[in-house]
Structure 1
Amino acid sequence: MTPSPSPRSLLGFLRGHLIGTYGLLALTGLLFLIFSITLPDTFPTRDNISSILSNQSIPAILALGATIPIVTGKFDLSIGYGLGLAHVMVMQLIVNEGWPWPLACLAVIFGGLVVGALNGVIVEFAQIDSFIATLGTGSMMYAFTGWITDGARIVPGPQGLPPAFTDIYDSRFLGLPVPAFYVLAVVVALWLVLERLPLGRYLYVIGSNPRAAGMLGIPTRKYSVYAFAGSGLVVGFAGVLLAAQQQTGNPSVGLDYLLPAFVGALLGSTAIKPGRANALGTLVAVAVLAIGLAGIGQLGAQFWVTPLFNGGTLLIAVGLAGYSARRRLRTGPTATRQSLAKPSAAPTKDGNP
C-alpha cells in the first residue's frame, strides 16, 4: 500500500497551491496598500481609481485578446498593429467616408475577426511559426495604416465626432467609467468560453499537446484558426474604444500597446490557474501593472521608467510562466492524485489542461 501523505507534505502542497494561485492577487492588494500609505492624498482616491480603470481598459482588453492564441501555444504579434489599423479605420469611415458610427464600428470589429482568421490560416495551413507569421502580417497592417492616413493624423471637422460615439468611452455607469465594464464583460465571456465550453477545453488540449489533440480527433488547425479569429475580434473592439478615446486617427499609436498586452497575458498565466493562460489571471496581471504604473507615475518617475517597468516585467512574466508550466506538469492534477490517492485511482480526463 502507498502510505498516506504526511500532514507536513499536504500542508506544503496546499501552501504552494495557494501561493501559485492567489499570490499575484495578493501582490495587487499589497501594491495598492503600499502606494496608498506612501501617497495618501492622491492614490487611494475615487478620482485616481476611476483614472486607472479608464486608462487601463484598452490595454486590459488587448491583453485578453492576446491571451486567446497563447492558450493554444501560439503568439499573435500583430495585435498592436491591428489595434492601430482598427482605430484608424473607424476614424476613416466616420470622418472621411461619412458612415454612421454604429455601422463603422461593426464593420471594423468584423474586419478584426477576418484579419485574425487570416492570421490563423497563415500560421496553421502555411505552417509558418506564429512569431514570424504575425510579425509579417502586422508589418503589412502597419503599411496599410500608413497608406490610408498618408502618414498623417485623421482629425474630425469643426463639428467633431458624434457625441454618442465618444460616449462609448467617456460615459460612466454606477459612478465608474464605462470601459471598466467592457473589460469585465470580455473577461466573463472569455472565462465562459475557456472554462465552461468544449471549445475552451479543445484549445487547452491543443496548447498542451497538439499531437495528443490530433489523436483524440480534435481538428487542431480549425480550432487554432478560431483562436486567432477570437483574438482579432477583441482587437477590433479595442480599436473602436481607442478611436472613441483618442478622437483622432494616429497611424502609430497601436504599437505602444503591444508590450503591455503581452506582459499582462503572460504574467496572467502564473495566476489563478498557474501554468496556463486564463482570463481571470490576465485581469489580475493587468491590475498589478496598472497599480504599479500609476503608483510610480505619481511618485514622479521619469518617462523612461514605464518602458523599463514593462520590459522587466515581461522578462519576469516569461520566466514565471515557464516555471509555472513546468511545476504544473510535475504537480498537476494527475500527479497529485497519484501521490495523495489510492494506487487504484486511475487518472481521468480532469488531468487534461
Structure 2
Amino acid sequence: MTAPPSSSSSPSRPHRRRPAGHLVGAYGLPALTVVLFLTFSLVLPRTFPTRDTVDSLLYTQSVPAVLALAATVPIVTGAFDLSLGYGLGLAHVMVLRLVVDGRWPWPWACLAVIAGGALVGVLNGVVVEYGRIDSFIATLGTGSMMYAVTGWVTGGGRIVPGPQGLPAAFTDLYDSRFLGLPVPACYVLVLAVALWLVLQRLPLGRYLYVVGSNPRAAELVGIPVRRYTVYAFAASGLIVGFAGVLLAAQQQIGNPSVGLDYLLPAFVGALLGSTAIQPGRPNALGTLVAVAVLAVGLTGIGQLGADFWTIPLFYGGTLLLAVGLAGYSARRLRTGADMSAVPLEPPPAGRDGDPTDAAP
C-alpha cells in the first residue's frame, strides 16, 4: 500500500511574486497620505494634528467623497458622467423644496429624491447606450437640462427655511455622531465597503469591469453591454441623490449653483483612486484613499495661509497627474507588465445571451 503523495510533490500553481512596481503603485497613495499628515503635523503642531482638524476633515469631505464614489461606477464601464455636479445641485434643492414648501415628511422627501436620482441615472445610461452618444456629450447635455430645472424650481434664488427651521432629525443626518465618529464619515465608509463588495466579489462587478475593459469582447461572450452600462449610470444617479440629501442636511439652505463646485473634486478623486489599491482599475477603496490625500493636502495648504486660487490650481494639477497615472497603470495592466493582475473571465452565456442566466 503506497503512501499518499506529500504536498511538496503534488502539483500546485506557481507562486507569483508581486513586483516592486505593483506595491508602489498599489500602496503609494496611502503612504503619501500618511507622509502628508505627518509633515503638516510637524510644520503646524498647534493646529493640524488636533481633534478639531480631524473632525473637520471627516465632516467637510463627506459629500465630495460620496460624489467621487458615484463618479467611480460609470468609470468602471469606461464612461464618464459629467452631470454629477448638476444632479447634486438639483437633488439638494429638491429635498429642501419638498420639506420647506411642500410640507413633506423629511424621510419621504429624501427617499423621493434618491429614487429620482436613480431615474436620472437610467436616463443618462439610455441616452449614452441606446442613443449612441458619447458619454461626455450626453451627460453634459442632460446636466445642463438639470441645471435648467434647478433654476426653474428655485426661481434663481435660494430656498430658505422659515423661522421654525428644518426638522432636527433631518439635520442630524449630517450633524450627529456615531461611536464617536461624525455620522457622514460612517456613511462614506459603509458606501465604500458596499461598492467594494459589489465590484470585487459579485458577478455584477466582474461584468462591469469586462464591459469597461473591452465592450466588444463582452458582447461576444454574451454580456449585455447596454444593460450593464445603464445599471452603472443608475447606481451613480442613486448615489448622487443620496449626496444631495446629505448636502441639504449640511447646508440647510438651497443654493441652485452649489453643485458645480463638487464636480472637479469628484473626478479627481475617482481618477486618482484608480492608481491606488488596484492600479489600472477604478475601485472604491482607491477612491476613498484619493479623497483622503486630497483632503489632507488641501487642509494643510489652507492652514499654511495659501491664497484662494491655490485650491483650483491644486485640483487641476492633481487631475492631470491622476489621468496620466491612470493611463499608465491601465497600459501596464493591458500589456501584462504587472504580473499580479489576473485577467477577468466572464462565465458562459445562458440561453438568452445573458451570463446571469447561465447554469451554475
Aligned to 2:325: 320
Note the C-alpha offset of 1:185: 0.7
CA-to-aligned-CA distance 1:142-169 (integer Å, 9 cap, x gap)? 0000000010000000000000000000
The 5 A counterparts of 1:190-209 are 190-209=195-214
Aligned to 2:219: 214
Note the C-alpha offset of 1:327: 1.2
Note the C-alpha offset of 1:316: 0.5
Aligned to 2:297: 292
For 1:54 and 1:164, the matched residues in 2 are separated by 17
Note the C-alpha offset of 1:34: 0.4
Work out whether 1:258 is the aligned partner of 2:263. Answer: yes
Is the 2:117–2:240 contact (alpha carbons within 8 Å) kept by the matching residues of 1? yes
For 2:106 and 2:344, the matched residues in 1 are separated by 51
Picking from 272, 284, 290, the partner of 1:279 is 284
For 1:205 and 1:175, the matched residues in 2 are separated by 40
| Secondary structure at 1:243 match in 2 | helix
CA-to-aligned-CA distance 1:276-318 (integer Å, 9 cap, x gap)? 1000000000000000000000000111111110111001000
Amino acid aligned to 1:81: Y
For 1:263 and 1:349, the matched residues in 2 are separated by 30
CA-atom RMSD in angstroms: 1.6
| Secondary structure at 2:80 match in 1 | coil
Note the C-alpha offset of 1:329: 1.5
For 1:33 and 1:231, the matched residues in 2 are separated by 34
Amino acid aligned to 1:29: V
Aligned to 1:105: 110
Picking from 73, 80, 87, the partner of 1:82 is 87
Aligned to 1:349: 345
The 5 A counterparts of 1:1-353 are 14-331=19-336, 349=345
Is the 2:273–2:286 contact (alpha carbons within 8 Å) kept by the matching residues of 1? yes
Cα 1:336–1:168 shift into 2, 3 Å = closer
Is the 2:333–2:341 contact (alpha carbons within 8 Å) kept by the matching residues of 1? no
Cα 1:348–1:49 shift into 2, 3 Å = closer
Aligned to 1:4: none
> For structure 1, which runs of at least 5 residues remain unmatched after alignment?
1-9, 339-346
Aligned residues: 331
> For structure 2, which runs of at least 5 residues remain unmatched after alignment?
1-15, 347-360
| Secondary structure at 1:199 match in 2 | helix
| Secondary structure at 1:349 match in 2 | coil
For 1:85 and 1:332, the matched residues in 2 are separated by 44
TM-score normalised by the chain length of structure 1: 0.91
For 1:336 and 1:80, the matched residues in 2 are separated by 36
Note the C-alpha offset of 1:336: 6.2
Amino acid aligned to 2:277: I
Identical positions, percent: 75
For 1:327 and 1:294, the matched residues in 2 are separated by 33
Amino acid aligned to 1:331: G
For 1:60 and 1:337, the matched residues in 2 are separated by 27
Note the C-alpha offset of 1:97: 0.6
| Secondary structure at 2:217 match in 1 | helix
TM-score normalised by the chain length of structure 2: 0.90
Note the C-alpha offset of 1:50: 0.6
Aligned to 2:10: none
Higher helix share: 1
Note the C-alpha offset of 1:190: 0.3
Aligned to 1:5: none
Cα 1:24–1:179 shift into 2, 3 Å = same
For 2:59 and 2:92, the matched residues in 1 are separated by 17
Amino acid aligned to 2:298: L
For 2:303 and 2:181, the matched residues in 1 are separated by 21
Return structure 1 stretches of 4+ with deviation > 6 angstroms.
none
Amino acid aligned to 2:333: R
Amino acid aligned to 2:253: T
Amino acid aligned to 1:325: A
Aligned to 1:341: none
Cα 1:46–1:125 shift into 2, 3 Å = same
